[in-house]
Amino acid sequence: MAEIKKISDFLWEISKEEGAGMNVPVRIFANGNIIKTMQKDRTLNQARNAATLPTIVSNMLVMPDGHEGYGFPVGGVAAFPMDGGIVSPGAIGFDINCGIRLVKTNLSVKEIKPKMKELMDSLFKNVPSGVGSKINLGFTRSDLEKVAIEGARYVISKGYGVHDDIDSTEENGAMEGADPSKVSDLAKKRGVGQLGTLGAGNHFLEVQKVDRVLDDKLADVYGLEPDQVVVMLHSGSRGYGHQVCSDYLRVLSDYQKEHNIQLADPELSYAYFGSKEADDYLKAMKSAVNFAFANRQIMMHLIRKSFSEVFGKSPDALGMDLLYDVAHNIAKEEEHEVDGKRMKLLVHRKGATRAFGPGRKELSGAYREYGQPVIIPGSMGTASYVLAGRKESDVLSFGSSCHGSGRVMSRHQAIREIPASKTMGEMKSKGIEIRVRDRKLVSEEAEWAYKSVDDVVASVEGAGISKIVARMVPLGVAKG
């Protein structure tokens, strides 16, 4: 086991001398409880392996919600120079641009409680969920090509939302440089019927109330107040993005063999910028990113539709504005400070959220002045948080923060050890309305299968990379 050096109460380091071939140290944002938990699986070993990737700069980072994943740990962040660096699909993940969207309302808990059952029924009906879930909105393969390039902007032009939604979406809802010709026919076939669907696994739709405000000024900027009802949505690029990742892992496996590249872990395959393999993957990845932005945009429209049906008012009258949409499985060209110099980097985030602080040109409106909202869901039935990015994160974490609470049990272990009835009973005792298509998911996503989200957000705040703004708790949950 590698020696883990404590730098502060919320920052730990594994020296690059602790692993064969490590090019940079591993830095872990965590409190004392979380660092112990991380040592029980392969999280830190995977981080050490990732630190052997060529051209990696500064540090390999692990967020407090980190846990083992495919090759590269979930909760991992790594950056590579745009001049001569690499891209690694395993450091982005299968669910490209899995992310979170938070929708505000002007409703209070008192106003919504009498209609919660009706509202959850409507949401469960209007937003398809479950493994392989589909919806017929009339999109064609031709539409899919446009979605790949224009992302959320394209579906807004088709009536699924309003232009203001773009200003509150990371990348304004579409990454430039996407090329759907680099996406396989199988990925397109999987994706065409899934635009506007939630999926399964840890994806969810939650109606929540703002339980506590912890920073009055930032909450006022973000438009949040105690007892306010909000809606949180967690989903990604569905089968489209999964297939893109699968396709290019095979391509890059061949690339490793062709160039006689030896890897610490075969799941960490990569290609150098300028190679056909890297260029094609990045264009396909951006297509999947834009698919996911469009997917969440359509579902937000369906959520607004449900609220309108139940409350008999327009989304405008209900104050249903988008707070923000953040991605947490993505690679993006950004500029950050490394060893006192500004560098253009491709920042890989896998289970990590961009957390830009005040002054970043990528942010618009009030967010440029006060910092980007960082939306952190908890496990099913527990609290979620809104945080704000801090300027210090630019140097400490490539402008990154955590993305959730992070698993401590595998899905299979959770199914074996946590009866669905236990979770359902716990949620019922809290007065939470739940709708789920597969009871197995209730065990997989039970709160005991995850770290404490309170510990996780306290760790990123303590480390100085995000500021806690507000805490939310669920009123209703819908899952696949």
Q: What is the pLDDT of residue 451?
A: 93
CA distances for 455 relative to 34, 142, 186, 404, angstroms: 8, 46, 41, 11
Q: What is the pLDDT of residue 437?
A: 84
- The neighbour count for residue 343, using CB atoms within 10 Å, is 16
Domain limits, the chain: 5-91+332-370, 99-331+371-479
Burial, 358: exposed, middle or buried (Cβ in 10 Å; 0-12, 13-18, 19+)?
Answer: middle
Q: How many CA atoms lie within 13 A of 259 on its CB side?
A: 14
- CATH class assigned to 99-331+371-479: alpha beta
pTM: 0.97
Q: What is the pLDDT of residue 135?
A: 82
Give the whole-angstrom CA distance, residue 442 versus residue 83: 46
Burial, 177: exposed, middle or buried (Cβ in 10 Å; 0-12, 13-18, 19+)?
Answer: middle
- The neighbour count for residue 340, using CB atoms within 10 Å, is 6
Burial profile 107-129: b = 16 or more Cβ within 10 angstroms, e = fewer: bebeebeeebeebbbbbbebbbb
Q: What is the pLDDT of residue 238?
A: 96
Q: How far, in whole angstroms, is CA 394 from its chain's centroid?
A: 19
| Strands, E assignment, 187-290 | 204-213, 228-235, 271-272
Mean pLDDT by 10 residues, the chain (480 residues): 93 94 98 94 96 98 96 97 97 98 98 97 92 85 97 97 96 98 97 93 95 98 98 97 98 96 95 98 98 98 98 98 98 95 97 97 95 95 96 96 94 92 91 88 89 96 98 94
Provide DSSP, 335-382. EEEETTEEEEEEEEEES-EE---TT-TT--HHHHHH--EEEE--STTS
Active site residues: 403
